[in-house]
Amino acid sequence: MDFSPRIIVLGKLTRDYILTQDGISRADIPGGDGIFSAAGVRFWDELPGLCARIGEMYPQRWLESFETNGINTLGIITHSEIPDIIRFFRYTSPDTFTQNDPIAHYAQLGIPIPKGLLGYVNPLQQTDSQTQASLHYIRSYEIPPAYLDAIAAHLCPLDYVSYTTLLHTLKQGSIHTISMDPSEGIMNSLFYSSLADLVRNLTIFQTTESKIRQLFLGRTEDIWEMADQIGSWGAEMVVIHCGSQGQYLLDHSSKKRWVLSAYPSHVVDPTGAGAVFCGGFLAGYLQHYDPLMACLKGSISASFSVEGSGPLYILDTLPGLAERRLEKLKETVRQI
């Protein structure tokens, strides 16, 4: 696709297998925080560029569908030694899922297990290495030069080494707005000081309530104290996602705090909703330079995402519907 994106997204692409709360099976569909965040950007009429590493078996038709929907894939690099990332989710509620033992879950529902899940092992979440980067995350030298002419970037959950090198590279270009959704591997007390070094390079810090509580374990249990600390490290805006309960938003420079409710959607598949929110937030911020409006747009993006499966589902939303939801959600905002 021949355009230089204003916003670039750096993340991962996966092949997802999902059993919804209603027992519906979605087998081998595109997933990963990278494409979900890019779709969140695209939802608000921005043209994002996507950076990721994939293996040779990743379906080419999926990349073509990303392009068709206005997502630049020049930054997606294929490597022969990289295996596809397989993810399995079995939801029991909009906020609760397991990624273990897919055979048992498919058998319980009387559904044949997809061949792609045979031999599946749930990768255990571990604390990140401070010296070695994962094979699945983009290297600085792999970012297309045209992408560095963008004005904003979103860093999806990556590993610590990737964050340190990518932040340095992004700062060398024209990118002045950087958003990050840090991985579980660095959101723990062992990375407390190291994370502070990363945050000073950020404009927007987004995370979940469960992850930020792990980071501040033993230090404080007050959610606003946590947000204030992140802001004191350098982030201008801090967003804490609470799933179906909504978000906390801190504008550190003005010291303003808001609590936002989630839009009351009919949840079909919550996979990727947080990543969609992140992309929608960044797009909204660049369009208004207003943290509250950005958060509202992120929330509306996520509200459509959960009503179907796959990252491109939201791009078929009827014109005008997002604006109507936006006006309704504004009425629920509380400033603290």
| The pLDDT of residue 173 | 80
Decide if 180 contacts 205 (C-beta within 8 A): yes
Residue-level pLDDT, tens digit, the chain, 336 residues? 556 899 999 999 999 999 999 999 999 999 999 999 999 999 999 999 999 999 999 999 999 999 999 999 999 999 998 999 999 999 999 889 999 999 999 999 999 999 999 989 887 666 777 778 888 889 999 999 999 999 999 999 999 999 999 999 998 888 999 999 999 999 998 899 999 999 998 999 999 999 999 999 999 999 999 999 999 999 999 999 998 899 999 999 999 999 999 999 999 999 999 999 999 999 999 999 999 999 999 999 999 999 999 999 999 999 899 999 999 999 999 999
Residue in the structure block whose two tokens are 């992004």: 170
| The pLDDT of residue 292 | 98
Task: Specify the 3-state DSSP secondary structure of 132.
Answer: coil
Residues 6+ apart with CB under 8 A from 49: 4, 5, 7, 8, 9, 71, 72, 74, 75, 144, 146, 147, 150
| Cβ burial, residue 55 (10 Å; 0-12/13-18/19+) | middle
| The pLDDT of residue 319 | 85
The count of other CB atoms within 10 Å of the CB of residue 261 is 16
| The pLDDT of residue 301 | 97
pLDDT digits (tens, 9 = 90+) for 74-117: 999 999 989 999 999 999 998 899 999 999 999 999 999 999 99
Q: Six-digit token pair at 201?
A: 């390079």
Q: At what angle do helices 273-288 and 291-305 cross, to 10 degrees?
A: 150
Helices (H), the chain: 33-43, 60-68, 102-109, 160-172, 192-199, 209-215, 223-233, 273-288, 291-305, 321-330
Decide if 272 contacts 138 (C-beta within 8 A): no
pLDDT digits (tens, 9 = 90+) for 107-151: 999 999 999 999 898 876 667 777 788 888 899 999 999 999 999
Decide if 313 contacts 303 (C-beta within 8 A): no
Query: Torsion-angle region of residue 101: left (phi > 0), alpha (psi -120 to 50) or beta?
Result: left
| The pLDDT of residue 6 | 94
Q: Six-digit token pair at 254?
A: 């003005």
> What pTM did the predictor assign?
0.96
| The pLDDT of residue 125 | 67
